[in-house]
Amino acid sequence: MIYPIVKYGDPVLEKPAAPITTFDDELRKLADDMFESMYAAHGVGLAAPQIGISKRIAVIDVTFKEDPNGKIVLVNPEIVHTEGKLTSTEGCLSLPEFRENVTRPRKVTARAQDLNGKTIEVTGEELLARALIHETDHLNGKLYISHISALKRDMIKRKVRKLIKQGEW
Ligand code: NI
């Protein structure tokens, strides 16, 4: 099932999501639906709050279907190690049409659980590092625009308000 993507302005995006304690078929179905919704929206990462579900699960595929092993599911993730810095443009499916330069660690390790509840660690560099940290941020109610200047953030907020008024958001 393809879910519509929740856009910036919806409070679900700015509250911490609830930990997942049950690892069952329902959770597996949610992960499948999240991949489907992410691919349909042409994204490389998606967190459950972005489909209106305030639970700590995110999916990532920075290869966008190129590599069948590129699919990553993170349940209850936390960032346990970061290294270096890299500034690159970043976007978010919940803020369509906007992109900004964001400085992130170059290398990131996330500890999470898989769909069976087993603890896993995923380490990524560059785009994968960015995705690991961006999606974990989502589960803490944080969007990438909290990492840009207040001036740029206010500009985006103003544009979004205008789009909402025009019924185009
Ligand atoms: Ni995002």
Chain segment 16-51, per-residue pLDDT in tens: 999 999 999 999 999 999 999 999 999 999 999 999
Ligand 1: centre distance to CA 143 (Å): 7
pLDDT band at 1 (very low <50, low <70, confident <90, very high): very high
CA distance 169 to 83: 36
**Active-site choice (36, 66, 126, 135):** 135
Q: What is the pLDDT of residue 121?
A: 98
In a domain, 117, yes or no: yes
Q: What is the pLDDT of residue 116?
A: 98
Which of 70, 79, 155, 66 is closest to 111 using CA atoms? 79
User: Could you tell me the maximum CA-CA distance found in the chain, to the nearest angstrom?
Assistant: 46
> How many CA atoms, within 13 angstroms, populate the side-chain half-sphere of residue 38?
28
Look at the chain and report how many structural domains it folds into.
Answer: 1
User: What percentage of the chain has pLDDT greater than the value 90?
Assistant: 99
Ligand 1: centre distance to CA 87 (Å): 17
**Residue span of the structural domain in which 23 resides:** 11-165
Ligand 1: centre distance to CA 144 (Å): 7
In a domain, 85, yes or no: yes
Annotated catalytic residue 135: yes
pTM attached to this predicted model: 0.97
In a domain, 1, yes or no: no
Q: What is the pLDDT of residue 119?
A: 98
